[in-house]
């Protein structure tokens, strides 16, 4: 028994650290090391029948010594709302993009005052600041609302729990629970704190547990749910001292991979580039204003004064137009970049989060449907070895499922035969046989027979002679056990045992019938037995006759073919699979070998968690990638492995069905929970079936491909629009190639309808291509092929629009306003044609219905574009845009398709 050494009140004999350690080990033997349940209860001043005293003094003392059942993180979320808004606004104003915008606003104010006078210049600057403030406040408001939503979502439930205090059963709030309380749990209840199982019904079981003996594994952990029965538990840790809270607290600072955040950072870099260029242009404009003012102030020869005044008026007019164009274009591009791309991604992710249900899964975090496509490693925990499915036992002609169906003497004889011919350090089949016998037959592995002689008669035939105490007529009684293949044992047997323990004759016909019971191609053992008296004439030859067949054991794989194929699929797809289990190393080896994760010669890939934890920091980092199975792993050990895998630049997904592993799911880049919804997981698989993982991986990679195309389309739009606007403004003609409203319109339809079209065609691609999809990992968002496509397509769009601006009136014999409309149409249709390769790449693999949806969306975009142009012509009294001009615009824009094919061909050739 361990005494308290400090860290709590002197009134209690155990500290919170000792209590936490006792519960964490989850073993009756470990609990006995700390004095057993009776000592722990008395050390906490708890009567196991009457509970605690429960008066205010007692409750205060327990709260001071062991803490309250209110997590600190929850109290932190209850900070004043004005403080939250203030912090969000301050963080927004520290953004480099906002600082550049402020610089642009200052220069815009100076230019406006210099060119247009104080009144008009200040009005422009105020309008600029108003627009900029709307951008800042829009993002701040969105983040504030998200904080409020997270607060409501993750607020701890404060349900009633039934406790025993001062001999009375009473319902209290969960937050009022203290260490030492006796809690009664019934079907459907959630465990409110960490504790120790005291007693319960025979039917008591926690959700996701299979055949657990709670008297041997007595620890109960926060958050688990009672699936049936009722029990009584002793509370040992509450609030921030529970295992779950400690693990989450220790993982703070390990940033998870957030795909949207990575894309937002990439978009922010482009914002800074745009703004830096705009800032340079504004500086140039400001310098030109002062130069113009200086030239106007110089004394000129008489006769030249009027000419210079006219020149200055023209300069001022152009500068005013340029300043106005810079101002409007800047706001449109920055707003489209900051808010447009997230809108497009939201449309795609919203669609994917709905369609992931086809994989029999749901998402808790909307971006998880994409992040799961980036993973390079899956750490799965909680794999259960169902011993009853590891082998078939035939006693006579009856199939046995449990040793209670058998005669007791027969069970003892069969257990002796298995133990005498198997070793925990033997071959894989022997390890499996011992593991099965221990669980199904109740084999006592601690038995050791010193008076035993073992002989190998042939490759598949073993004989063991065991001397037992006691003599009959001065002769020593020996038990002779034989183990071998059915073909080796059946010929030397003359009788066999029935399920009831009777002995019947075994003839040739029955021996043939026994062989027909066994499945072809599986490892089968036959066990035979007889009792003899040792004398000088006994030898192995005389002991090889008149044997009694005990039974036939046929080993088989306890895992389904779907599970094994899922493991193989992940490995072929470039995603490493690692088992992190709390079983002993032999059981972990059985799980890994039967599942196909390991081969028999891969012993070095199995490591005990205690050995891994005892290594130095550098050694852990070096060996973590070679570990495929981590045995005897506690939740902290599992989190340690995920931590080092992420330090080796792996994108890690953790999959588990255990509530105790929820902190692990929270630490991993993607948390997959096999069960119903939980706030700490990203993806939920209600069927608790690992074989659904391949479909989820394939779906996630298609979502990533969809996002890649959306980002590429968006950057092409931004680069081409920015370049066209800068060139046209610097040309000095005072006209905008693309108006602000035109840019807003094209961004709007492409961010909503265009993103939906890409999502439909890409996400619904057939999973037959899954194995050839690349492993994205945590690499750059914009890849080299994407850069090539962006440069080629944006250059083409810039070239087309500049040619139209310079030669459009002459070539097509139209007015300037019609040329402007042609520029608008060509720019819009170029973006539409960029959508077509999405369906072209997966020709023949996209379902007909999705193809129709895609074509309908493209048609809707075209119809809306025609409607906007026609309405604009009516409002502005522009000459009618005839069918010939429409065909010209569509034809010119269609040239982007062969350019796209050429770029893709160059990319493929470069990869060879």
Distance, CA of 178 to CA of 158 (rounded, Å): 14
Reply yes or no on whether the pLDDT at 318 is more than 50: no
Give the residue with greater pLDDT, 570 vs 208. 570
Reply yes or no on whether the pLDDT at 506 is more than 80: yes
Q: Does domain 387-551 have CATH number 3.40.50.12780?
A: no
Average pLDDT, the chain: 77
Reply yes or no on whether the pLDDT at 887 is more than 80: yes
Q: What is the DSSP letter of 390?
A: S
The pLDDT-based confidence of 184 (bands split at 50, 70, 90) is: very high
The pLDDT-based confidence of 379 (bands split at 50, 70, 90) is: very high
pLDDT confidence of residue 317: 44
What residue segments make up the domains of the chain, in order of their start?
16-74+156-250, 81-154+256-335, 376-386+560-668, 387-551, 708-911
* Greatest mean pLDDT among 139-153, 249-263, 598-612: 598-612
Q: Is 649 exposed, middle or buried (0-12, 13-18, 19+ CB in 10 A)?
A: exposed
Classified by CATH at the fold level, domain 376-386+560-668 comes out as Rossmann fold (3.40.50)
Mean pLDDT of 540-559: 82
Secondary structure E strands in 75-174: 160-165, 168-173
Give the residue with greater pLDDT, 39 vs 155. 39
Q: Give yes or no for a contact between 352 and 700, defined as CB atoms under 8 angstroms apart.
A: no
pLDDT digits (tens, 9 = 90+) for 266-285: 666 766 776 676 667 667 66
The pLDDT-based confidence of 479 (bands split at 50, 70, 90) is: confident
Q: What is the DSSP letter of 65?
A: H
Task: Tell me the CATH number for domain 16-74+156-250.
Answer: 2.70.150.10
Reply yes or no on whether the pLDDT at 766 is more than 60: no
The pLDDT-based confidence of 577 (bands split at 50, 70, 90) is: very high
Reply yes or no on whether the pLDDT at 13 is more than 70: yes
Mean pLDDT of 623-645: 90
pLDDT confidence of residue 322: 46
The pLDDT-based confidence of 186 (bands split at 50, 70, 90) is: very high
pLDDT confidence of residue 475: 64
Reply yes or no on whether the pLDDT at 572 is more than 60: yes
pLDDT digits (tens, 9 = 90+) for 60-72: 999 988 988 875 4
Mean pLDDT of 765-769: 45
Q: Specify the long-range contacts of residues 513-519, CB closer than 8 Å, at least 24 apart.
A: 513/397, 514/394, 514/397, 514/486, 514/490, 514/549, 514/552, 515/486, 515/487, 515/490, 517/394, 517/397, 517/552, 518/394, 518/486, 518/552, 518/554, 519/554, 519/556
Reply yes or no on whether the pLDDT at 311 is more than 50: no
pLDDT confidence of residue 726: 73
Mean pLDDT of 372-387: 85
* Greatest mean pLDDT among 379-383, 494-498, 773-777, 809-813: 494-498
Mean pLDDT of 681-687: 85
pTM for the full predicted model: 0.77
Give the residue with greater pLDDT, 658 vs 83. 658
The pLDDT-based confidence of 545 (bands split at 50, 70, 90) is: confident
pLDDT digits (tens, 9 = 90+) for 94-116: 666 666 666 666 666 666 666 66
Reply yes or no on whether the pLDDT at 709 is more than 60: yes
The pLDDT-based confidence of 262 (bands split at 50, 70, 90) is: low
* Greatest mean pLDDT among 142-146, 376-380, 744-748: 376-380
Reply yes or no on whether the pLDDT at 196 is more than 90: yes
Q: Give yes or no for a contact between 763 and 699, defined as CB atoms under 8 angstroms apart.
A: yes
Question: Among positive and negative, which fits the CA dihedral 631, 633, 639, 640?
Answer: negative
* Greatest mean pLDDT among 244-258, 262-276, 422-436: 422-436
pLDDT digits (tens, 9 = 90+) for 32-47: 888 888 999 999 999 9
The pLDDT-based confidence of 681 (bands split at 50, 70, 90) is: confident
Give the closest residue to 201 by CA, choosing from 224, 231, 227: 231
Mean pLDDT of 187-214: 84
Distance, CA of 681 to CA of 666 (rounded, Å): 6
Mean pLDDT of 616-631: 90
Mean pLDDT of 169-183: 91
pLDDT confidence of residue 437: 87
Choice among 277-291, 501-515, 894-908 with the minimum mean pLDDT = 277-291
* String of DSSP letters for 711-759: HHHHHHHHHHHHHHHHHHHHTTS---SS-HHHHHHHHHHIIIIIHHHHH
Question: Among positive and negative, which fits the CA dihedral 17, 23, 29, 34?
Answer: positive
């Amino acid at each position: 028994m361990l005494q308290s050494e400090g860290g709590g009140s002197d009134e209690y004999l155990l500290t919170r650290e000792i209590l936490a350690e006792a519960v964490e080990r989850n073993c009756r033997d470990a609990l006995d090391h700390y004095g057993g349940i009776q000592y722990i209860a008395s050390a906490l001043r708890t009567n196991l029948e009457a509970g605690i005293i429960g008066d205010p003094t007692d409750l205060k003392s327990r709260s001071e010594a062991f803490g309250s059942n209110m997590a600190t993180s929850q109290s932190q979320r209850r900070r004043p709302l004005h403080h939250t808004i203030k912090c969000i606004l301050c963080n927004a104003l520290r953004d480099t993009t906002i600082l550049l915008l402020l610089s642009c606003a200052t220069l815009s104010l100076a230019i406006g005052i210099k060119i247009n006078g104080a009144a008009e210049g200040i009005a422009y600057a105020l309008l600029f600041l108003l627009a900029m403030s709307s951008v800042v406040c829009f993002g701040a408001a969105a983040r504030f609302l998200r904080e409020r939503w997270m607060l409501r979502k993750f607020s701890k439930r404060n349900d009633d729990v039934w406790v025993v205090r001062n001999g009375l059963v009473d319902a209290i709030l969960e937050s009022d629970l203290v260490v030492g309380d006796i809690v009664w749990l019934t079907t459907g209840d959630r465990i409110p704190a960490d504790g120790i199982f005291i007693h319960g019904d025979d039917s008591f079981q926690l959700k996701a547990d299979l055949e657990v003996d709670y008297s041997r594994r007595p620890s109960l952990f926060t958050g688990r749910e009672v699936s049936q029965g009722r029990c009584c538990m002793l509370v040992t840790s509450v609030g921030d001292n529970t295992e779950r809270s400690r693990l989450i607290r220790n993982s703070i600072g390990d940033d998870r991979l957030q795909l949207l955040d990575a894309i937002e950072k990439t978009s922010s870099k482009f914002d800074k580039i745009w703004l830096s260029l705009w800032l340079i242009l504004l500086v140039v404009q400001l310098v030109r204003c002062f130069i113009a003012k200086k030239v106007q102030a110089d004394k000129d020869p008489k006769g030249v004064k009027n000419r210079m005044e006219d020149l200055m008026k023209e300069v001022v007019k152009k500068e005013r137009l340029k300043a106005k164009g810079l101002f409007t274009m800047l706001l449109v591009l920055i707003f489209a970049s900051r808010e447009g791309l997230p809108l497009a991604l939201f449309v795609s992710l919203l669609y994917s989060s709905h369609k992931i249900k086809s994989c029999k899964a749901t998402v808790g975090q909307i971006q998880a449907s994409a992040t799961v496509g980036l993973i390079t490693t899956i750490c799965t925990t909680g794999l259960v070895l169902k011993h009853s499915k590891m082998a078939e036992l035939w006693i006579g002609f009856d199939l046995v499922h449990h040793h209670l169906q058998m005669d007791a003497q027969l069970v003892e004889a069969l257990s002796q035969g298995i133990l005498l011919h198997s070793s925990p350090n033997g071959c894989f089949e022997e390890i499996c046989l011992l593991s099965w016998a221990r669980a199904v037959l109740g084999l006592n592995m601690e038995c050791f027979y010193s008076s035993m002689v073992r002989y190998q008669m042939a490759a598949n035939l073993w004989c063991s002679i065991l001397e037992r105490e006691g003599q009959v007529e001065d002769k020593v009684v020996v038990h002779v056990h034989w183990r071998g293949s059915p073909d080796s044992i059946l010929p030397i047997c003359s009788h066999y045992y029935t399920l009831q323990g009777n002995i019947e004759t075994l003839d040739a016909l029955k021996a043939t019938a026994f062989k027909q019971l066994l499945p072809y191609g599986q490892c089968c053992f036959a066990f035979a037995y007889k009792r003899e008296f040792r004398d000088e004439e006994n030898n192995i030859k005389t002991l090889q006759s008149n044997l009694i067949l005990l039974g036939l054991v046929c080993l088989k794989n306890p895992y389904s073919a779907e599970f094994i194929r899922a493991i193989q699929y992940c490995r072929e797809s470039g995603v490493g699979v690692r088992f992190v289990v709390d079983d002993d190393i032999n059981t972990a080896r059985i799980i890994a070998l039967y599942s196909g994760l390991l081969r028999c010669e891969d012993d070095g890939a199995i490591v005990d968690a205690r050995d891994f934890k005892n290594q130095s920091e550098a050694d852990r980092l070096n060996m973590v990638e070679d570990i495929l199975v981590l045995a005897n792993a506690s939740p902290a050990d599992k989190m340690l492995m995920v931590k080092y895998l992420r330090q080796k630049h792996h994108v890690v997904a953790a999959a588990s069905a255990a509530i105790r592993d929820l902190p692990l799911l929270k630490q991993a880049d993607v948390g997959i929970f096999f069960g119903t919804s939980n706030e700490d997981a990203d993806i939920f698989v209600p069927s608790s079936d690992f074989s659904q993982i391949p479909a989820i991986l394939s779906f996630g990679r298609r979502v990533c491909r969809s996002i890649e195309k959306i980002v590429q389309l968006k950057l092409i739009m931004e680069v081409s629009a920015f370049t066209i606007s800068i060139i046209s403004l610097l040309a000095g003609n005072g006209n905008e190639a693309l108006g602000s409203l035109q840019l807003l319109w094209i961004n709007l339809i492409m961010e909503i309808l265009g993103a939906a079209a890409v999502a439909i065609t890409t996400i619904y691609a057939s999973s037959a291509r899954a194995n050839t999809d690349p492993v994205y990992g945590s690499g750059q968002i914009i890849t080299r092929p994407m850069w090539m496509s962006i440069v080629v397509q944006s250059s083409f769009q810039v070239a087309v629009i500049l040619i139209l601006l310079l030669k459009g009136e002459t070539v097509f014999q139209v007015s300037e306003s019609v040329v402007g409309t042609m520029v608008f149409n060509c720019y819009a249709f170029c973006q539409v044609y960029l959508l077509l390769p999405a369906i072209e790449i997966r020709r023949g693999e996209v379902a007909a219905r999705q193809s129709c949806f895609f074509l309908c969306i493209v048609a809707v975009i075209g119809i809306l574009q025609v409607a906007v142009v026609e309405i604009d012509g009516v409002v502005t009294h522009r000459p009618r845009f005839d069918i010939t001009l429409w065909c010209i615009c569509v034809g010119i824009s269609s040239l982007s398709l062969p350019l796209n094919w050429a770029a893709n061909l160059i990319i493929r050739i470069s990869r060879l």
